[in-house]
């Protein structure tokens, strides 16, 4: 038999006290514990603890959100009960709520499962180091956390830090236009030179326009732009988040009740997904311009003939397929860079390792995704 003594209600949360026949009293918290909402009504919560039982439990199993200041209030309440002679435990915390309590030392951190070092062979050591690298990356955990945060953002779009997106778009897009234009122009120039040497032998110089136009719009433009952005913006994202991680700024955000995925990850994903297709279009245009320069100077073709042949060879699907790929490239680059940054450990050296890993993994993912798109387009006859 239990006897429900009383209940305290505040903005966004509720607390009820349940006294058990075994002398154990439980304070059951529910809702969102935010300092601004619960500070004014916290007096009612403290009144629920009187009279104090010999054993008290603070049950947080139904708490959806807990910020740093509210955690301080809970710990102060626990210390008051302990001073009054009551054995007090905080129970039921899980997920972000438990992480917040661990940050404040209210819960002991889970023990490490890393086995003690033993003498092993070189092949065994390579395998162990590979598995350890996969574990440290926390890729599956990151994907799950991003998926959960994405669902919450869809329900409450105001959680996303939209104000940061224009600044990130300027850094990843506008500031990267010069290097993208230069690389795109040189790639088109080199491709046209290489094609001209072979096509001139067959009197088919005009088809340089076909080769440059199709290669730039379908493959080289999207691929080179994504590689540039991965080495430039992807490395920057990983270094920024890695520095924030080792300097405990990520923990500070959680203390303020801000989700790092909503505040840091999603704005970077959205910014890259918006600017990378635009950069790809610019790279396509200047790449074709590079081919035009070679055609007019080396092959003695006219501007009108080259542009007319390009227009005939390149259709809207060729451009769209390349731009569509870059949107997927952008999401891969941003997620990999943010994951490596948030998983950083070990100070400045760890930041360097995370940045290197982010760039290398992003390049591998870009080539892999590009290969998948190529196989799919070929399978559907596109």
Tell me: do 83 and 150 sit in the same domain: no
| Boundary (domain end) residue, out of 103, 125, 157 | 103
Inside any domain, residue 74? yes
pLDDT digits (tens, 9 = 90+) for 89-118: 888 888 888 888 887 765 544 555 555 666
- Answer yes or no: is pLDDT of 289 > 80: yes
Tell me: do 325 and 239 sit in the same domain: yes
Inside any domain, residue 130? no
CATH number, domain of 32, equals 3.30.750.24
Inside any domain, residue 146? yes
DSSP assignment, residue 52?
Answer: P
- Answer yes or no: is pLDDT of 26 > 50: yes
pLDDT digits (tens, 9 = 90+) for 175-224: 889 999 999 999 999 999 888 888 877 777 788 888 899 999 988 999 99
Mean pLDDT of 5-33: 78
Q: Helices 316-342 and 221-229, interaxial angle, to 10°? A: 20
Quick one: pLDDT at residue 271? 92
Inside any domain, residue 126? no
User: Using CB atoms within 10 A of its CB, is residue 94 exposed (0-12), middle (13-18) or buried (19+)?
Assistant: exposed
Tell me: do 226 and 291 sit in the same domain: yes
| Boundary (domain end) residue, out of 103, 132, 165 | 103
pLDDT digits (tens, 9 = 90+) for 255-278: 887 888 888 888 999 999 999 999
Residue in 178, 369, 170 with CA at minimum distance from that of residue 267? 170
Tell me: do 85 and 149 sit in the same domain: no
Inside any domain, residue 248? yes
| Boundary (domain end) residue, out of 103, 128, 152 | 103
* Three-class DSSP category at 256: coil
Tell me: do 221 and 326 sit in the same domain: yes
pLDDT digits (tens, 9 = 90+) for 107-162: 544 555 555 666 677 777 777 777 766 655 556 677 777 888 888 888 888 888 88
Inside any domain, residue 334? yes
Mean pLDDT of 76-101: 82
Inside any domain, residue 113? no
Tell me: do 266 and 373 sit in the same domain: yes
Domain encompassing residue 73: 2-103
Domain count, the chain: 2
Residue given tokens 């870009």 in the structure block = 366
Tell me: do 43 and 152 sit in the same domain: no
Quick one: pLDDT at residue 4? 55
Quick one: pLDDT at residue 286? 94
Res. 1 pLDDT band, cuts 50 70 90 = very low
Tell me: do 97 and 185 sit in the same domain: no
Inside any domain, residue 110? no
Round to whole Å and give the CA distance between 170 and 253: 24
Tell me: do 358 and 263 sit in the same domain: yes
Tell me: do 48 and 173 sit in the same domain: no
Res. 280 pLDDT band, cuts 50 70 90 = very high
Residue in 142, 152, 303, 283 with CA at minimum distance from that of residue 224? 283
Quick one: pLDDT at residue 274? 93
Tell me: do 148 and 260 sit in the same domain: yes
Res. 330 pLDDT band, cuts 50 70 90 = very high
Tell me: do 153 and 248 sit in the same domain: yes
pLDDT digits (tens, 9 = 90+) for 358-372: 899 899 999 999 999
């Amino acid at each position: 038999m239990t006897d429900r003594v009383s209940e305290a209600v505040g903005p966004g949360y509720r607390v009820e006290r349940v006294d058990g026949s075994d002398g154990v009293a439980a304070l059951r918290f529910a809702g969102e514990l935010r300092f601004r909402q619960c500070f004014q009504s916290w007096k009612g919560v403290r009144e629920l603890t009187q009279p104090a039982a010999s054993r008290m439990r603070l049950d947080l199993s139904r708490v959806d959100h807990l910020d740093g200041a509210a955690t301080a209030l809970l710990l102060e309440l626990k210390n008051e009960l302990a001073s009054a002679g009551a054995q007090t435990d905080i129970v039921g915390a899980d997920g972000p709520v438990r992480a917040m309590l661990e940050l404040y030392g209210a819960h002991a951190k889970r023990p490490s499962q890393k086995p003690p070092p033993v003498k092993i062979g070189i092949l065994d050591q390579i395998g162990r180091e590979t598995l350890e690298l996969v574990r440290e990356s926390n890729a599956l955990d990151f994907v799950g956390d991003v998926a959960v945060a994405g669902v919450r953002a869809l329900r409450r779009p105001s959680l996303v830090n939209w104000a940061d997106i224009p600044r990130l778009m300027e850094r990843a897009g506008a500031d990267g236009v010069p290097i993208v234009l230069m690389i795109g122009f040189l790639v088109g120039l080199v491709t046209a030179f290489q094609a001209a040497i072979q096509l001139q032998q067959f009197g088919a110089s005009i088809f340089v326009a076909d080769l440059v136009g199709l290669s730039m719009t379908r493959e080289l433009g999207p691929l080179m732009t994504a590689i540039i952005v991965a080495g430039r913006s992807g490395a920057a994202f990983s270094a920024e988040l890695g520095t924030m991680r080792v300097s405990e700024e990520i923990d500070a955000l959680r203390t303020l009740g801000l989700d790092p995925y909503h505040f840091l990850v999603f704005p970077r994903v959205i910014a890259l997904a918006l600017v990378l297709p635009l950069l790809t279009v610019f790279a396509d245009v200047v790449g074709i311009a590079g081919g035009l320069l070679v055609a007019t100077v080396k092959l003695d073709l006219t501007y009108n003939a080259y542009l007319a042949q390009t227009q005939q060879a390149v259709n809207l699907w060729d451009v769209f397929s390349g731009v569509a790929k870059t949107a997927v490239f952008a999401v891969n680059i941003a997620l990999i860079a943010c994951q490596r940054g948030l998983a950083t450990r070990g100070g400045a050296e760890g930041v360097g390792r995370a940045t290197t890993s982010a760039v290398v993994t992003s390049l591998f993912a870009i080539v892999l995704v590009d290969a998948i798109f190529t196989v799919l387009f070929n399978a559907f006859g596109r």
